[in-house]
Amino acid sequence: MAARVQVLLACYNGAAHLAEQLESLAAQRGVAWSLRWRDDGSTDATVAILEEFAARHPGRVVRVEGGGRLGAGGSFMRLLAEAPPADFHAFMDQDDVWLPEKLAHGVGVLRDADLVCTRLRLVTPDLTPIDVSAMPSRPPAFATLLAHNVAAGCTMVMTERARRWALAAPMPDGGLHDWWCALAVTGCGGRLVFDAEAGLLYRQHAGNLVGGGAALRERARRMIGRGPSSFYAPLVRHMAALPALPLTDAARATLEAAAGLRAPSPLWRLAALRRAGIAHHAPLGDALLRLWVMLARMR
């Protein structure tokens, strides 16, 4: 029997590329997919496109309504919370194109893991190939994910157990669903795999630059412009929210050590960073992280 995969789509004014994404979902091989979607107040043809898709796939598409404007992260977490139990769950963005084996490949990796994320095939808005996103320079773990997220939600497939972990405590306000899920799974003792096989075409635009020399330079420029808050602000939110999860002793020890980033001395803060094992997944990001820790303390 094919694995049941509950696909979760949060959308907002996505009419430009949504139909193409939905057709790539319908073309998935080797799994029994169903789609649960939520619109966050679109004023274009997004809802009409999804209703037409539902009519062509009766019994497989369900709309989740209500809740007001939640933003992308809140909308995805609402979908995850209201999804029925399934073998696997997968987030879907509104403007990508999935390759036919995307879900089946993810399910295969999850024989030995709780959550899989992958690289991205980067393309222009008209799907002209650009590049493939980089692999992390170190395997993602709870401590390194506290520094920054490498698990893109649109690439994720997770087990039912991973879903329960992600829902065991509220995501912090303003949080990102994919980052929260990655932290929840690794913090609760699950296994996250970053797979080299890119399963989707990811449209590249100014708001979502990934990989490539120019993109990396732009992301570095943004990080430098934001200063230490680019690291500390999400870390503080996560450190406040994560203890409500059923974390492992090792994860709680990591959070305890990270509290040392409030120390007045730069050297003490660097020592706390090492004790916690917090490190960026890219060499440039890691250098900036250490600079921020030297320049300012966590509040």
How much is the pLDDT for 3? 94
User: What pTM did the predictor assign?
Assistant: 0.94
pLDDT digits (tens, 9 = 90+) for 68-123: 899 999 999 999 999 999 999 999 999 999 999 999 999 999 999 999 999 999 99
The residues, ordered by sequence, that sit 6+ positions from 256 with a Cβ below 8 Å of its Cβ are none
Distance CA 255, CA 238 (A): 10
pLDDT digits (tens, 9 = 90+) for 236-279: 999 999 999 999 999 999 999 999 999 999 999 999 999 999 99
Render 130-191 in DSSP notation, one character per residue: EEEPPPPSS---HHHHHH-----GGG-EEEHHHHHHHTSSPPPTT--HHHHHHHHHHHTT--
User: Which run of H or of E encompasses 253?
Assistant: helix 249-258
Instruction: Report all structural domains of the chain as residue ranges with CATH numbers, in order of start.
Output: 3-203 (3.90.550.10), 213-295 (no CATH)
Torsion, Cα 14 19 21 25, to 10 degrees, reads: 130
pLDDT digits (tens, 9 = 90+) for 131-185: 999 999 999 999 999 999 999 999 999 999 999 999 999 999 999 999 999 999 9
User: Which run of H or of E encompasses 279?
Assistant: none
Tokens encoding 227: 């200063």
Determine contact, residues 138/277, Cβ cutoff 8 Å: no
Which of the four pLDDT bands, split at 50, 70 and 90, describes residue 58?
very high
Distance CA 211, CA 200 (A): 15
